Amino acid sequence: MNQEEWKIYTKQGDKGETSLLGGTRVPKYHQQIEAYGTLDELNAFLGLLRDQEMEEETKVFLINIQERIFTAESILASDKPENLEMLPKLNATDIDTLEQAIDVMNEELPPIRNFVLPGGHPAVSYCHVSRTVCRRAERITIKLAESMDVDALIIKYLNRLSDYLFVLSRKLAKDLNAVETPWKPNI
């Protein structure tokens, strides 16, 4: 395929519409676009997180997460249930894998007694940014589920992923000797 056969610009979206997977045209602010677009934003932040200083095993794990997020994006982008048959799937084992990783990290961390303020090291901060974008993606996907069928595993995966990212932020703070600042409310 040469450059002229495939162009990044199609001009099809110049009037504020785009196509769902399957061809249905919708406004770019459509709730499905908002849901999978927020997952795309999360995936970009996960890539930025993966570019930080950390164990190679964690980077490989983050690539696996990014692949699962792309899977969720494709599912949310589908316009018809029959299109889902051709797409990759999320599985309960994907959630189990996150839970196991959380448990392993938690074993080497001190108990948490307060909320923790984001920061202390860029890698820790990118974890928190990714976590908050993940929470927003979860909220948007839950709202989308009120108007169409959404695979419940996507919502469950996003919920567990935000937990994973919080625990990873604490592990990275420990590994990088970053200060973990507890929130001390002014009461």
* pLDDT 10s digits, 54-109: 999 999 999 999 999 999 999 998 877 777 677 789 999 999 999 999 999 999 99
> Residue 111 domain-assigned?
no
Tell me the mean pLDDT in the region 127-140. 98
Sign of the four-CA dihedral 53, 56, 60, 62: negative
> Residue 30 domain-assigned?
yes
* Average of per-residue pLDDT values in the chain: 89
> Residue 143 domain-assigned?
yes
> Residue 37 domain-assigned?
yes
> Residue 9 domain-assigned?
no
Q: Model-level pTM? A: 0.89
Instruction: Look at residue 34 and tell me whether its pLDDT is greater than 60.
Output: yes
Tell me the mean pLDDT in the region 1-23. 65
Domain containing 28 equals 19-105+116-178
Length of the chain: 187
> Residue 125 domain-assigned?
yes
> Residue 93 domain-assigned?
yes
Helices and strands: H and E segment counts in the chain: 5, 4
DSSP 3-state percent helix, strand, coil across the chain (nearest 5): 60, 5, 35
Q: What is the CATH number of the domain that holds 39?
A: 1.20.1200.10
> Residue 1 domain-assigned?
no
Number of domains the chain contains: 1
> Residue 101's closest CA among 49, 37, 45, 58?
58
With contact defined as beta carbons under 8 Å apart, do 161 and 126 qualify?
Answer: no
**Lowest-confidence pick of 29-33, 42-46, 75-79, 170-174:** 29-33
